[in-house]
Structure 1
Amino acid sequence: MNMLVEQLQKSPEQVVLLDSEKSITSAELTTRATEISDLIGTQQLSCVAFRLDNSIAWVVLDLALTMTDSAALPLPTFFTHAQCEFAMHKAGAQWLISDQAESNLAMLTTLNIFGQTLWVYDLQGLRTTELFPDTQKITFTSGSTGEPKGCCLSLSSQFTVASSLCERVALPAPKHLCVLPLGVLLENIAGIYAPLLSGGQVKVLSAEELGFIGSQVFDHQLLLNAITQYEPNSLVLVPEILKILILAAEQGWLPPKSLQFVAVGGALVSSQMLNRASALGIPVHQGYGLSEACSVVSLNTDVEQDGSVGKPLAHIQFKAIDNELYIRGPLFLGYLNEQPHDETHWYATGDLVTIEQRDLGSSLSIIGRKKHVLINSFGRNVSPEWPESLLQNTSWPIQVVVCGEARAFLSALVWMPQTISDEQFEQHLIKVNQSLPDYARVLRWHRLSKPLSIEQGLLSNNIRPKRAAIADFYADVINGLYLQ
C-alpha cells in the first residue's frame, strides 16, 4: 500500500474529488482504483499509456497505476498524434487507455469510471522497452532541441516531492482547482498528490469547461468563472495563465477571498508582474523545477515576492558551479534507453542561478538557461529571459522571444492582440530598455501575425519558447531585422 492510499483511507467518507456534476469520497476513489489496478495487474504489462482530458477518471486511473507494477505514461491531450506515437514507441507501451474512440487501433475492452467510458487498446505490436527497476511513471521532457527524452520516475520520488510541497505550502486540507492539464507532471504532483496528501479536496474540470482549446486559453471568462464558483484555496499556473488573471483583475474581476496560495512556474516571472498580482489579491508564489526532479525543486513562500524562487525543498541538496545549479537527492531514475542516474551524483540542471543567504536559509534566483545565453558580437553574455520577463510585464497578452546570438544588438519576435498598436508596444519597449544596460536592450522587433503554440512545435509543454525551432522557423524574419 502506498502513502497516498494510506492517507485516503484515514477519512473514507470525505469528499476528495469533484467535477461539475459529481463528488467522490475517499472510499469510492480507492475502491474503483483498486478494481482497475487488479485488472491491469493480471495482464503483467510493463507500461500503460493513457490520454484523457482532465477528469475524475484521469485521477482514478493514475491512482490505480500507482498500485500496480506497470509504469504509467500519461500523454497530455495537446500532444499531436506524432508526439503520442513517439512517446508510446519509446516507452514500449502495451496498452493505451483513451477517452476517445480510435478507429486505427485494436480495442480490447472498455472501462466505466464513475459514468465516463474509456476505451482500452492493444499496443502489443510495439517493441517492449527495458525500464529501470522501480519506474512508476514516464514523463517526456520538452525537447527544446532534438527529440524529447523519456524521464523515468519512481513512486517514492514523486511522493517525496509532494510531501515536501505539503510541508512548504502548509495549507491544511486545501481545496485545489486543477487548471493545467493533468498530463503535465507539475499539476499531477502539485495539484493532485500534494493536496490529497494534505487531507484536501481536488476539483477537476475538462479543458472545454476551463476555456481551453489545446494548450491555449480561448475563453478567459470560462476560466475566471470556474475559479470564482469553486472558490479554491490553491492553484498551480504557468505565467501566461497568471497574466490572464492579472489582466482580468485589473479590469474588475475579483479573485475569490478563498485563494491562499497560487504557485506559478514553468518560466521566469519578473518581480514587477508578481507584485502586480499580489496587489490585486492574487497570492502568487514563484517556484522552479524540472522533470528530472519530479517537477519542483524550490518554491518561494514569502508574502513579498522579489522575483526569486525561494529555497529548495527539504529533500534537495544544491550548489552552484560557475553559476550553474547542481542538485542531488531522490531525483529521476534515468532517461529511457540511457544509463541510470546515480542518486549520489550531482545533477547539472543547465540553469544559471544566484544563491543568496537569508535568515531562513539560501534562496535561489534564476538567471536563465545556460544553453540559451546569447553572446553578442562584442563578446557580452546576456540571458534572453532577462529582457523577455520585463517586456512581458504588460497590461495586455504578449509573447516575446529575444534573439541576437553573434549579433551587434538584440532583436525580438513579438505577438500581441490586434487591439494593441505598434506605437503602444514601442513606448513599452523604450521604458523597459531604459532599465537595462545597453547590451541587453532590444533595438529592433518584428510583430508576429499569430501566437506561438505547442501545436506548431514552437513552445514546450510548459509554454516555454523552443528557441532552436523558433530560430529555424523564423530565420528569414530574424535575418531581416539585421539588414535594415
Structure 2
Amino acid sequence: MVIQNLLDSLPDTTVLLTDGQRQFDRAALAGRVEALAAVLAARSRPQAPVGILADNSPEWLMVDLATQALGLTLVPLPLFFTPQQWAHVIAESGIGALFCADPAQGAALGFDTVRAAGPLALCEASAPRPAPGAALDGVQKLTFTSGTTSAPKGVCLSAAQQWEVARALREGVAPLGLGRHLCLLPFAVLLENIAGPYTALLSGATTICPPLAETGMRGASGFDPTVCLDAIARHAPHSITLVPQMLQALVAASRPDDPRIASLRFVAVGGGKMPPQLLAAARARGFPVYEGYGLSECASVVALNLPGAQRDGSVGRPLAHRRTAIAADGEILVEGCAARYLGQPVQNDPWLATGDLGHIDADGFLYVDGRKKDILITGYGRNVSPEWPEAALLGAGAIAQAMVVGEGQAYLAALLVPAGPAVGAAQLQEAVERANAQLPDYAQIRRWSVVPPLLPAAGLLTPNGRLRRAAIRAAHADAIASLFDQPESIT
C-alpha cells in the first residue's frame, strides 16, 4: 500500500488520531508523516532500519507510516523487554537510529546523538553501528516475539502482509459501523497495530491512543481495570482489543449492563484460550466479545468470530484472505503466510505449521485445543492439553492464573494465582472442585499450590499473556516437586 494514497483517500474533517488531548485530521497527519519522513531521510545512514522504544501515542503511528512512505524497516522495541533483550534486538536488526521519548534512554542503548527533538526524539549513534546480520529487503516491520527463550526472535513482515490483514478485518466488522477505536494494548504488540489503527485508518475512523497508564496498564505487567473502565467511559470507543486476562479483570470490576461500556460494539479478544464461563460472564456485563486467533508469523489475525458468524468456544472462521486446515496429528495449518524469521529464508511450503492443535467443525469454525509441544502425557499414558483444565480453573472463579503440570505423573496438579488478596485456601479448593466437575478423572486437578502472580517482567508470560511454561517450571521447581511427593493411584 502506498501511504500517500491512503492518506489522500481519508476524509478531510474526521479526527483520525487523538491521544485525548491533541487531535490530528487528515491534513495534520499527512503533514507530520511528511516531516518525519524528511527527518529520517536526512540521517547519516538513511536506509538503515529504524527502532522505536516508546509508549502509545499518535507519534508512534506517525513514525510507522513515515517508515512505510520511505520503504524503511521499523523495529518496535517493547517497553516490557529487559535491557538485555533490547540489546539483542538492536544487534540482530542493525538499527541505525532510535525514536524514544527520553534521549537518555537512547544514549544508554548506544544512540547518543539527538538528530531531531520532539515528543519522540530521533537519536543516532555517534560511533558507526554494524549493519543487520541478515538482509531486510521488503521488510517493513521486524517484530520480535518473546518466544520460549530469553533471546527474542524477529519475524519479518512486509507492509502488504500487514495491510492485507487490516483490509480483511475492515470488511469483517463493516456492518458494525465502528467509528472510534481505543488502543489498550502496546503498539509494540503487532495485534494492536493491525486490529487498531490500521483497520481504523482504512475505515476512516478515529484511533484513540493515550499513554497506556491512562487506560489502566501499570508498568510491564500490572493492569487496573477500574482505570480502564473509566477510560472507556471517557473516550466512548466502539471497539477495543484485549487479552483474556484483561477481560477477566474488567468483568470482575464491572456491573451488569455497566454504563461505562455502553459505547462498545466490538471487543476482540485473543492471545490465549478463553474459558466459556468468562465469555458468558462478559456478555452478562454487556461486553460484546468476539474471540479470535492469530500469530505474528501471519501478520496477526488469522480467524475471528464476527457479527452474524459467531460460535462460542471457537475462534471464528478464517478471515477472507486465509485458509486453514488440520494436519494428521491435529496441528493447525495456515495457508499463505509467507512467514520467515530474521536470518532465515522464506518458507517454501505454502502451509505454515502453527504449533497449535485444533479442529474445524462442519461450518468452518476453527477451535484451538492447545499447544502441540505442551501436551502432557500422564504416567498412565493419557494425553492432556493443559489448556483444557486450565480453562476450567480460570472459569471457576477465585483463580486469576493457573498452570497445570503432571508430565509422567499419576495425576495432574496446578500452580494457582488467587484472584485477589482476600481469596483464601478454602475458596481456591472450592474453585478447583467446580473445575474438576467439568473434567474426566484423568484431567482433574488432584493437588495445587499457590504461587505469586506470573508476570511478563519476570519472563513468565509472553507479551500477550501466554504462559512461558518452561520458565515457570524452572522458577517454581520446588513447588511443583512438592505436588508429587505423595504417591497416588488413579483408577
Place the TM-score, normalised by the shorter chain, in its bin.
over 0.9
Instruction: Give the corresponding residue for 1:227.
Output: 232
- Root-mean-square deviation (CA, aligned residues, Å) is 1.9
List per-residue Cα deviations over 1:21-78 (Å, max 9, x = no partner): 1111111112111221132134423311110101111111111111122200011111
Native 8 Å contact 1:50 1:75 kept in 2: yes
What is the total number of aligned residue pairs between the two structures? Answer: 476
Instruction: Give the corresponding residue for 2:157.
Output: 153
Native 8 Å contact 1:374 1:383 kept in 2: yes
List per-residue Cα deviations over 1:295-342 (Å, max 9, x = no partner): 11100115665110011111112211121111111443x111112223
CA pair 473-230 structure 1, distance change in 2 beyond 3 A = same
The one-letter code sitting in structure 1 at the alignment partner of 2:190 is L
Instruction: Give the corresponding residue for 2:314.
Output: 308
The one-letter code sitting in structure 2 at the alignment partner of 1:389 is A
Q: 1:59 aligns with which of 58, 61, 64?
A: 61
SS in 2 for 1:143: coil
CA shift at 1:479, angstroms?
Answer: 0.9
Distance 1:440 1:82 in 2: 39
Instruction: Give the corresponding residue for 1:286.
Output: 291
List per-residue Cα deviations over 1:425-477 (Å, max 9, x = no partner): 101111110110111111111101x2111111111111111001111111111
SS in 2 for 1:138: strand
Instruction: Give the corresponding residue for 2:365.
Output: 363
CA shift at 1:419, angstroms?
Answer: 0.5
CA shift at 1:408, angstroms?
Answer: 0.9
Answering whether residue 403 of structure 2 is matched by residue 401 of structure 1, we say: yes
Instruction: Give the corresponding residue for 1:174.
Output: 179
Distance 1:4 1:299 in 2: 30
Instruction: Give the corresponding residue for 2:450.
Output: 447
TM-score normalised by L of structure 2:
0.92
SS in 2 for 1:289: strand
Distance 2:217 2:66 in 1: 27
CA pair 21-394 structure 1, distance change in 2 beyond 3 A = farther
Instruction: Give the corresponding residue for 2:432.
Output: 429
Native 8 Å contact 2:297 2:337 kept in 1: no
The one-letter code sitting in structure 2 at the alignment partner of 1:326 is L
List per-residue Cα deviations over 1:132-177 (Å, max 9, x = no partner): 4311101112312463311000000000001011111224352000
The one-letter code sitting in structure 1 at the alignment partner of 2:216 is G
Distance 1:238 1:173 in 2: 20
Native 8 Å contact 1:289 1:298 kept in 2: yes
Which ranges in structure 2 are unaligned for 5 or more consecutive residues?
A: 487-491
CA pair 223-111 structure 1, distance change in 2 beyond 3 A = farther
SS in 2 for 1:152: strand
Instruction: Give the corresponding residue for 1:138.
Output: 142
CA shift at 1:108, angstroms?
Answer: 2.8
List per-residue Cα deviations over 1:393-415 (Å, max 9, x = no partner): 24456110111111111111111
Distance 1:256 1:213 in 2: 21
Distance 1:251 1:13 in 2: 36
Instruction: Give the corresponding residue for 2:415.
Output: 413
Distance 1:7 1:106 in 2: 31
CA pair 225-124 structure 1, distance change in 2 beyond 3 A = farther
Native 8 Å contact 1:176 1:232 kept in 2: yes
Answering whether residue 357 of structure 2 is matched by residue 352 of structure 1, we say: yes
CA pair 13-397 structure 1, distance change in 2 beyond 3 A = farther
Native 8 Å contact 1:239 1:265 kept in 2: yes
SS in 2 for 1:297: strand
Instruction: Give the corresponding residue for 2:469.
Output: 467
Task: Write out aligned runs for 1:3-152 (5 A).
Answer: 5-7=5-7, 9-43=9-43, 44-100=46-102, 101-102=104-105, 103-104=107-108, 105-113=110-118, 116-122=119-125, 124-145=128-149, 147-152=151-156
Instruction: Give the corresponding residue for 1:327.
Output: 334
Instruction: Give the corresponding residue for 2:209.
Output: 204
Distance 2:116 2:259 in 1: 41
SS in 2 for 1:472: helix
List per-residue Cα deviations over 1:272-294 (Å, max 9, x = no partner): 21121112110000000111001
CA pair 367-231 structure 1, distance change in 2 beyond 3 A = same
Distance 1:78 1:146 in 2: 13
The one-letter code sitting in structure 2 at the alignment partner of 1:419 is A
SS in 2 for 1:128: coil
Instruction: Give the corresponding residue for 2:264.
Output: 259
List per-residue Cα deviations over 1:248-287 (Å, max 9, x = no partner): 2248843432210000000000222112111211000000
SS in 1 for 2:300: coil
Native 8 Å contact 2:95 2:132 kept in 1: yes
The one-letter code sitting in structure 1 at the alignment partner of 2:326 is A
Distance 1:71 1:234 in 2: 29
